[in-house]
Amino acid sequence: MKPLPLLLATTALVALFSLPACEKQETTSEKVKDRVNDALDNRPGEPVLDAAEDTKDAVKDAADDVKDAVR
């Protein structure tokens, strides 16, 4: 294999795998703001987010019930 295509392929793979590591981290103030908005039901798409949280809780409860039934 010629050196240039190998170098380009290697560079592309390194870029592909390093880009997800560049995600923006949430600051403490952003986390607090999100929690306050959650408590006050001021988040964008609040009905959808509440439905997702309710579903998560229901699945967790069902999993706990199954564990208890197996014991």
- Residue count of the chain, please give it: 71
pLDDT in tens, 17-42: 776 666 677 889 988 988 898 888 88
- For residues 27 and 18, the answer to whether their CB atoms sit within 8 Å is no
Reported pTM: 0.46
Tokens of 5: 């295509």
- pLDDT of 11 reads 84
- For residues 25 and 34, the answer to whether their CB atoms sit within 8 Å is no
- Distance CA(69)–CA(62), nearest Å, equals 10
Tokens 């409860």 correspond to: 61
What number of other Cβ atoms are within 10 A of residue 17's Cβ? Answer: 9
- pLDDT of 2 reads 65
- pLDDT of 61 reads 95
Give the pLDDT mean for 2-21: 76
